[in-house]
Amino acid sequence: MKTLIANFKSNKTKAEMQDWINRFFSFPEAPVEVILCPSSIHLGLFPEHRTARQLVGVQDVSPYPAGAYTGAIAAGNLAGYGVTHAIIGHSERRKHFGETNLEIARKIHESLEAEIIPILCVTKDEIVSQAEAIPLSERERLLVAYEPIESIGTGHTDSLASIVETLQRIRDVFRPQKTIYGGSVSPTTTSEILKNESIDGFLVGSAALDVDKFRSLCDGVS
């Protein structure tokens, strides 16, 4: 079964998020695992009773434990919100917030300590350097998403051959739980990508903002 991760980024008001959630949970469930990652401020809007395939994640956690770190959301703070996954090291975090590989490794450690599964985002040419600060025992507990920067939000996915080759390199270096592709995935992405057996799932930004598009993507991958 494929995994579809919705990255809402810094989008949606409370009312807009509530509307998305109401509509999504009114649809019949598709045979895919979904991990819905809203802005953390909206976590309390999700229904508490969800199926094992309807998961909720965050888009970041603090590199520090719970404590005197004003403004930060520690992985430990998320207990009780039903959060199972955390996107870590997204290229937008690296670019706009100056996150380093060392900081990302700390975030991974903090997430795992809180029993939250990290979804680590990596690029093609830096797979080894982005893995280096992460101990082997932690690498194999991750989901790793290949996210080419030139494909994010541009409407142009990477080629199937490049995705397949890069995910294999990720498997060699990380031995992760799952390998995911992200970058302009939408319901119009070719079925040879959406249905490819070596791709465990997709990280979806823009196309997740519209609940009907996201739902149609659920059908497209299943």
- The residue from 43, 152, 180, 194 that contacts ligand PGA (CB under 6 A) is 152
Stretch binding ligand PGA (CB under 6 A), from 50-58, 111-119, 170-178, 181-189 = 181-189
Q: Using the Cα atoms of residue 210, residue 196, residue 136 and residue 84 in order, give the sign of their dihedral.
A: positive
The answer to whether 185 contacts ligand PGA (rule: CB under 6 A) is: yes
Cβ neighbors of 202 (< 8 A, separation 6 or more) are: 2, 3, 4, 5, 180, 181, 182, 185, 194, 217, 221
Could you say which DSSP state residue 46 is in?
S
User: Does 147 qualify as catalytic in the annotation?
Assistant: yes
Stretch binding ligand PGA (CB under 6 A), from 68-76, 146-154, 170-178, 188-196 = 146-154
The answer to whether 182 contacts ligand PGA (rule: CB under 6 A) is: yes
Side-chain half-sphere CA neighbours of 132 within 13 A:
7
User: Does 42 qualify as catalytic in the annotation?
Assistant: no
- Given 42, 85, 90, 109, the catalytic residue: 90
Using CA atoms, how far apart are residues 162 and 100, in angstroms rounded to an integer? 25
- The residue from 57, 89, 201, 205 that contacts ligand PGA (CB under 6 A) is 205
Stretch binding ligand PGA (CB under 6 A), from 34-42, 66-74, 98-106, 177-185 = 177-185
In the structure encoding, which two tokens stand for residue 140, read together? 């194999």
At 221, which amino acid appears? V
Q: Which CB atom, from 44 or from 153, has the smaller least distance to ligand PGA?
A: 153
CB of 134 to ligand PGA, least distance (A): 20
Given phi > 0 = left and psi -120 to 50 = alpha, else beta, which region is 132? alpha
- Given 92, 99, 110, 147, the catalytic residue: 147
Query: Active-site residue numbers?
Result: 90, 147
Tell me which residues touch ligand PGA (CB under 6 A): 7, 147, 152-153, 182-185, 203-207
